[in-house]
């Protein structure tokens, strides 16, 4: 037990450094440090460090009150080590003091529950309706809110809205579409649509109307609200040199044809190859079809790898120019490549078959026109080579007179070079089979097709689709059996990479060829004339 004054609040107690009413021993932790002057010099007079040490009556009275509180606290509050004298009266007193302080601390434990803030402004029914009227809700969610103005006396209700006396519209003929269906979709009555189809068929077969043809139509007023509008006029450019007008006259529709004067002349396009031959030719004004024909033709005599970016491309196409200013690009007539002003390749469309011939082939110095074969007629991998092998179905060893390419069912099969179809149909163990004659004693065969895309006697060009991969005949799965013939005998397809076609040209044809070639080379490049 501590004394009321000399021990409570001293450095041996656990309740801080100084006493309740005044300072304790200086230089202790938690007590006020008062600087001490050196002993050699007399202390300088200074005001009291604490107002409780002054001689004021209120200070003395406050000091006496503090002393009484300290004595009472020292009597009831015991600081005892609970690890000593366990079970004694002092220990029980100290334990009760600790429990009381702990209970007081728990009673004063703060609460961390969220506080709900009051609304900024209370909303009554009128304000809630106003906010709902001014709110925005997506139409997809049925939004029909917002302010609406009610009709006044100035608004006149109409029993029926007046209709336009005529409507002008444009209809476009789609792919695999019929003229009558297109006209009915545009709003024509079935009778008018059938009559228009019959009138146009008189001037032009329906299958000659190209997809994308646009029809300008004018529809008249309704006879009754439930009846379709009658056709008044229809105009269409059915062909590049033919325009058709259909007008209503005398209660019926009448056909009027207008022939459009067309001037056909060759047009020459040249330019630098650059980084892309296709894009350079398109930038010069060539149509996509003309560029594809040019690339296909040049590839027969000059590999693309041998064409430098500094080379010049040169092509001549037929060009139709109508009297109304419209133009249409036609077939490729000449394809050439120049380097340093000297021709590297010159191919002119010549003959009734429309094949491209070079000057060397016409003169006979190259023995005819030559073209390289495609590396493979189908996109796939080689599963069986040329030579002796054990047949997978028959079970014995025999000659495999070709190369098998494994490919997906229905993959397109391409002709390896220009030629003529000499056979197309079922061919025993080959199944669906196509035979091509490329000239110069060279022929190719394609077997096990699922479907044939050419007919006997037709002419094919290099890269043209002639059929599709299948597994017909003696076959264990979808693949292409590819054969190559030289002089009627099968040879290894890998042994021939180029076909030479020998042709005999009389002097008159050679002179005509040279005249036509010089006329094309004398043309001024460009579409404008």
- Over residues 340-351, the pLDDT tens digits come to 889 988 889 887
Per-residue pLDDT at 137: 61
pLDDT at 291: 92
Each residue's pLDDT tens digit, 176-220: 888 889 998 888 888 889 999 999 988 888 888 888 899 999 998
pLDDT for the residue 367: 40
pLDDT of residue 504: 56
| DSSP 8-state class, residue 327 | E
pLDDT score for 68 = 87
d(CA 77, CA 97): 7
3-state secondary structure of 101: helix
Torsion sign over Cα 489, 490, 491, 496: positive
CB 453 within 8 A of CB 365: no
Q: How far apart are the first and last CA of the chain?
A: 127
From CA 56, how far away is CA 257, in angstroms rounded?
Answer: 131
What is the pLDDT, as a whole number, of residue 46?
57
User: How many C-beta atoms surround the C-beta of residue 214 within 10 A?
Assistant: 11
| Sequence-distant (≥ 6) Cβ neighbours of residue 281 within 8 angstroms | 269, 271, 290, 291, 294, 313, 315
Low pLDDT (below 50) residues in the chain: 1-37, 39, 365-370, 499-502, 529
Please give the helix or strand (H or E) that residue 89 lies within, else none: helix 89-107
> Are the beta carbons of 420 and 466 closer than 8 angstroms?
no
């Amino acid at each position: 037990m501590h004394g009321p004054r000399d021990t409570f609040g001293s450095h041996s107690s656990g309740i801080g450094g100084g006493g309740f009413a005044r300072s304790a021993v200086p230089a202790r932790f938690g007590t006020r440090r008062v600087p001490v002057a050196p002993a050699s010099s007399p202390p300088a007079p200074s005001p009291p460090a604490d107002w409780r040490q002054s001689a004021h009556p209120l200070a003395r009275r406050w000091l006496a009150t503090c002393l009484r509180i300290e004595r009472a606290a020292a009597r009831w509050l015991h600081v005892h080590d609970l690890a000593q004298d366990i079970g004694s009266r002092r220990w029980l007193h100290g334990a009760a003091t600790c429990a009381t302080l702990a209970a007081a601390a728990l009673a004063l434990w703060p609460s961390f529950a969220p506080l709900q803030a009051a609304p900024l402004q209370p909303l009554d029914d009128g304000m809630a309706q106003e906010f709902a009227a001014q709110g925005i809700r997506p139409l997809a969610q049925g939004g029909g809110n917002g302010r609406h103005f009610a009709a006044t006396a100035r608004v006149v209700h109409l029993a029926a809205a007046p209709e336009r006396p005529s409507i002008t519209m444009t209809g476009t003929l789609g792919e695999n579409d019929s003229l009558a269906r297109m006209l009915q979709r545009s709003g024509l009555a079935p009778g008018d649509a059938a009559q228009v189809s019959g009138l146009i068929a008189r001037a032009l077969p329906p299958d000659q109307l190209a997809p994308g043809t646009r029809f300008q139509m004018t529809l008249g007023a309704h006879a009754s609200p439930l009846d379709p509008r009658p056709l008044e006029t229809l105009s269409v450019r059915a062909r590049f040199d033919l325009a058709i007008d259909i007008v209503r006259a005398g209660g019926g529709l009448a056909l009027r044809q207008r022939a459009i004067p067309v001037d056909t002349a060759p047009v020459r396009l040249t330019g630098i190859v650059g980084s892309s031959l296709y894009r350079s030719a398109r930038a010069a004004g060539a149509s996509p079809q003309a560029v594809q024909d040019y690339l296909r033709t040049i590839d027969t005599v000059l590999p693309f790898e041998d064409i430098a970016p500094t080379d010049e491309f040169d092509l001549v196409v037929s060009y139709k120019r109508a009297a109304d200013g419209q133009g249409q690009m036609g077939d490729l007539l000449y394809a050439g490549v120049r380097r340093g002003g000297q021709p590297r390749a010159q191919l002119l469309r010549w003959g009734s078959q429309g094949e491209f011939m070079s000057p060397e082939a016409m003169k006979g110095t190259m023995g005819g026109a030559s073209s390289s074969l495609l590396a493979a007629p189908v996109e796939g991998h080689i599963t069986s080579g040329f030579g002796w092998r054990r047949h997978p179905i028959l079970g014995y060893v025999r000659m495999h007179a070709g190369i098998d390419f494994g490919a997906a069912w229905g993959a397109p099969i391409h002709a390896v070079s220009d030629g003529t179809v000499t056979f197309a149909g079922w061919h025993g163990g080959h199944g669906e089979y196509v035979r091509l004659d490329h000239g110069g004693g060279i022929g190719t065969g394609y077997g096990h097709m699922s479907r044939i895309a050419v007919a006997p006697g037709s002419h094919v060009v290099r890269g043209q689709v002639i059929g599709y991969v299948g597994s017909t005949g003696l076959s264990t799965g979808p693949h292409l059996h590819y054969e190559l013939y030289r002089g009627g005998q099968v040879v290894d397809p890998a042994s021939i990479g180029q076909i030479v076609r020998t042709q005999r040209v009389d002097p008159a044809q050679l002179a005509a060829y040279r005249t036509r070639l010089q006329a094309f080379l004398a043309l001024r490049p460009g579409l404008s004339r």
